[in-house]
Amino acid sequence: MTAVGDSKAAGYRVSGETSSNPDWARLFARRLTVTDFVVIVWAVIGTQIAWFGTLSSELNVGQYTGGFGLNYTLISVVLIISWSAILAMFGTRDSRVIGTGTNEYKRLVDATVRLFGIVAIIAFLFQLDLARGYIVMALPIGSLALLASRWMWRQWLSAQRARGLYSSRVLLVGSRVSVTAIARELLRLPEAGYLVVGACVPGDAIGEYLYGRIPVSGNLDQLQSAMEASGADTVVVTSSDELPPERIRQLSWSLEPGRQHLVLAPSLTDVGGPRIHMRPVAGLPLIHVETPRYEGLKRFSKRAFDIVSSSILIAVLSPVLIAAALGVRLSTPGGVIFKQDRVGLNGEHFQMLKFRSMVVDAEARLAELGEVDRAEGNTVMFKMKNDPRVTPIGGFLRRFSLDELPQLFNVLSGSMSLVGPRPPLDREVAVYEHHVHRRFLVKPGITGLWQVSGRSNLSWEDTVRLDLYYVENWSITGDLLILWRTARAVVARDGAY
């Protein structure tokens, strides 16, 4: 038998002990339904009691309807049922959106906002004198509670998927190169819910294994047998070189409706959902991919967000800034602020600010460090654990990323953004491949996608991939999510050195 693929995934298990329940999606959806209902009841009834102090408050209806009264408890019951129903209508518990990405959260918020919009319209049309505080409190409290509940379920689901449970069992079909590439990405992100249990590479001999664990077959005519043997419920076509359109259509017809699924993986990767649009033309499912745009309202919104947020953070964190400055000044000789020339937007240079965390002659001592000690798995960026040039107070500041706080003034002045690619040094840019220069299409950031995905522990290739993904797909919503993940990464102190 031949082992195919990277050894890092060799520990991946596809044995029966980790096989997923085929009805996991319905089971998980039921759990979400119950939890959502409990959260909504708590939010609506709790708001009613908090606002009125009782469950027996009366609501007066306008004169033209006869002037009758309604009990607010009845209104709350109708609101609870409607809220639960609209969450189901908007597919917030669909197996395609749960567990990964922001789509689940977006659907929750969208459904809730639409419900309360309908409530406002009905109240206006029927002259229902609803207490504004009752509605204004129920909306944000319920929304936040639902988001928190879904976030907790997502943590649980990710843990289960890391064990191979609660996932679609995937059989990959395509060329060796494309199957290996897709398998690597799915192995890297098990929380996405796709457990690779087999592969079919036309022309390959039976008996090989992908990543040491995933059996490989070479006979497309025996695809159904391969699915049954591996327990797969999803076929992912990774390339169509060996599968003409007629063959793929026959493949889709051979799958059991409702239980087995077909997924086509395009060759284009690292493209965010908002840029992708499906448009059927003459029976052809054409995928339109918008080119990224870096001007107009989006750029203005990002700059406005940076100015407001950095100003608030500087004001709120001023005691921390003062304490850190005093700690650096009193503990070691030298200046408080370290200024370093970095490459920013459109390749222009700027002075990046940091609290000094190293000895004064740190740059002069750089050459003394051995090349082996300096590599730390990243061939371009200098990253070193236990750097001897770091001062004791500097080590503390770095552990909690406090040395980065002066960059808030870079954000306020416009040379940086709160979120963006890491600002590189000239010596790093000198060895960039051509495509890496796309990082300069947006402003560099204090934090970014690579920092919240592993920080200093990432290889250079992963760092570039994440930074370019951000450049191609950035949005204000994505920035907010990265800032939230940054706070969690700082608390966890994972990869900070």
Concatenating the DSSP letter of every residue in 24-88 gives HHHHHHHHHHHHHHHHHHHHHHHHHHHHHSSS--EEEBPGGGT--EEEHHHHHHHHHHHHHHHHH
| pLDDT of res. 11 | 37
Which pLDDT value is given to residue 393? 87
The H-or-E segment that residue 251 falls in is helix 245-254
The average confidence (pLDDT) of the chain is: 80
By the 8 A CB rule, do 105 and 147 touch?
Answer: yes
The strand pair at 276-281 and 58-60 is best described as unpaired
Question: pLDDT for 459-495, tens place per residue?
Answer: 777 788 888 888 888 888 888 888 988 887 777 655 4
pLDDT tens-digit readout, 235-287: 888 887 667 777 888 888 888 877 888 888 877 666 666 667 677 777 677 77
Backbone torsions φ then ψ of 424, nearest 5 degrees: -90, 165
Structure-model confidence comparison of residues 203 and 175, the more confident one: 175
For residue 332, the model assigns a pLDDT of: 82
pTM of the model: 0.67
What token pair was written down for 68? Answer: 């009758």
What's the pLDDT score for residue 174?
Answer: 85
Model confidence over 321-376: pLDDT tens digits? Answer: 999 999 988 888 888 998 989 999 989 999 999 998 887 766 666 666 655 444 45
Position 79: which residue type? L
Residue 177 has pLDDT above 80, yes or no: yes
Residue 9, pLDDT above cutoff 80: no
Cα angle: 428, vertex 431, 435; to 5 degrees:
100
| CA–CA distance, 345 with 416 (Å, rounded to integer) | 8
Beta strands in 312-454 (DSSP E): 337-343, 349-355, 417-419, 445-447
Mean pLDDT, to the nearest integer, of 387-396?
A: 81
**pLDDT reading at 313 higher than 50:** yes
Q: Which is higher by pLDDT, 101 or 151?
A: 151
Query: Coil, strand, or helix at residue 355?
Result: strand
Rounded to an integer, what distance in angstroms lies between the CA atom of residue 426 and that of residue 410?
18
Q: Which distant-in-sequence residues (6+ apart) come within 8 Å of 174 by Cβ?
A: 182, 201, 237, 238, 239, 240, 241, 242, 243, 265
b/e 79-118 (16+ beta carbons within 10 angstroms → b): bbeebbebbeebebbebebbbbebebbebbeebbeebbee
Query: Per-residue pLDDT averaged across 6-27, rounded?
Result: 52
Residue among 160, 169, 185, 168 at smallest CA distance from 230:
169
**pLDDT value of residue 472:** 81
What's the confidence (pLDDT) of residue 391?
Answer: 84
Domains of the chain (ranges, CATH numbers): 3-9+167-267 (3.40.50.720), 24-162 (no CATH), 297-492 (no CATH)
